[in-house]
Amino acid sequence: MPLRNLLKDSAFAALVALILAIPLVGFNPIEGGKVEMRLNWVIIAVVAVFIGRIAIGLVPRRSRAVRAAPRFAPMTSRHIQWLGWMGLVAAVIWPLLPFSSRYLVDLATTVLIYIMLGWGLNIVVGLAGLLNLGYVAFYAVGAYAFAISAQYFDLSFWEALPIAGALATFVGVLLALPVLRLRGDYLAIVTLGFGEIIRIILLNWVSVTGGPNGINNIPRPTFFGLPLAASAPGGGTTFAKFFGIPFNPGQRIIFLYFVILALAMATNFLTVRLRRLPVGRAWEALREDEIASRALGINPTNVKLSAFAIGALLAGFAGAFFATRQGFISPESFTFQESATVLAIVVLGGMGSQLGVVLAAIILVTLPEFGREFAQFRMLVFGASMVGIMIWRPRGIFSNRTPSIQLGAPPA
Partner 1 sequence: MSYFLQQLINGLTLGAIYALIAIGYTMVYGIIGMINFAHGEIYMIGAFVSLITFFVLGVVGVTWVPLALVLVLVSAMGFTAFYGWTIERVAYRPLRGSFRLAPLISAIGMSIFLQNYVQLLQGARVKSLPPVIQGGFKLMESNGFTVQLSYLQIIIMLLTVALMAGFSIMIAATPLGRAQRACEQDMTMAALLGVNVDRTISTTFIIGAALAAVAGMMVTMYYGVIDFFIGFLAGMKAFTAAVLGGIGSLPGAVLGGFLIGLIEAFWSGYFSSAYKDVAVFGVLILVLIFRPSGLLGRPEVEKV
Give helix 354-366 / helix 102-121 axis angle, nearest 10°: 140
The verdict on 360 binding partner 1 (CB under 8 A) reads no
How far, in Å, CA of 314 to CA of 164, rounded? 10
The nearest distance, CB 343 to partner 1, in angstroms, is 7
Q: Which stretch binds partner 1 (CB under 8 A): 84-92, 200-208, 212-220, 354-362?
A: 200-208
Q: What is the DSSP letter of 30?
A: E
Q: Are 195 and 137 a contacting pair, CB within 8 Å? A: yes
Q: Which helix (H) or strand (E) holds 36?
A: strand 34-37
- Scanning residues 228 to 287, which ones bind partner 1 (CB under 8 A)? none
The verdict on 363 binding partner 1 (CB under 8 A) reads no
The verdict on 129 binding partner 1 (CB under 8 A) reads yes
Question: Nearer Cβ to partner 1, position 139 or 382?
Answer: 382
Size of the site for partner 1 (CB under 8 A): 57
The verdict on 380 binding partner 1 (CB under 8 A) reads yes
The residue from 162, 225, 390, 406 that contacts partner 1 (CB under 8 A) is 390
Q: Are 177 and 194 a contacting pair, CB within 8 Å? A: no
The verdict on 379 binding partner 1 (CB under 8 A) reads yes
* DSSP secondary structure of 246-308: ---THHHHHHHHHHHHHHHHHHHHHHHHHHHSHHHHHHHHHHH-HHHHHHTT--HHHHHHHHH
Q: What share of the chain is helix, strand, coil (3-state, %, to 5)?
A: 75, 5, 25
Rg (CA), the chain: 24
Q: Which stretch binds partner 1 (CB under 8 A): 224-232, 251-259, 301-309, 376-384?
A: 376-384
Site string for partner 1, 319-348 (x = CB under 8 A): -----------------x---x--xx--x-
The verdict on 59 binding partner 1 (CB under 8 A) reads no
Q: How far is CA 38 from CA 16, 45, 51, 58, 284, in A?
A: 18, 11, 20, 31, 50
The verdict on 7 binding partner 1 (CB under 8 A) reads no
Residues in the site for partner 1, rule: CB under 8 A? 16, 19-20, 22-25, 27-29, 33-35, 125, 129, 131, 133, 175, 178-179, 181-186, 188-190, 192-194, 196-197, 200-201, 204, 291, 336, 340, 343-344, 347, 351, 376-377, 379-380, 382-387, 390-391, 394
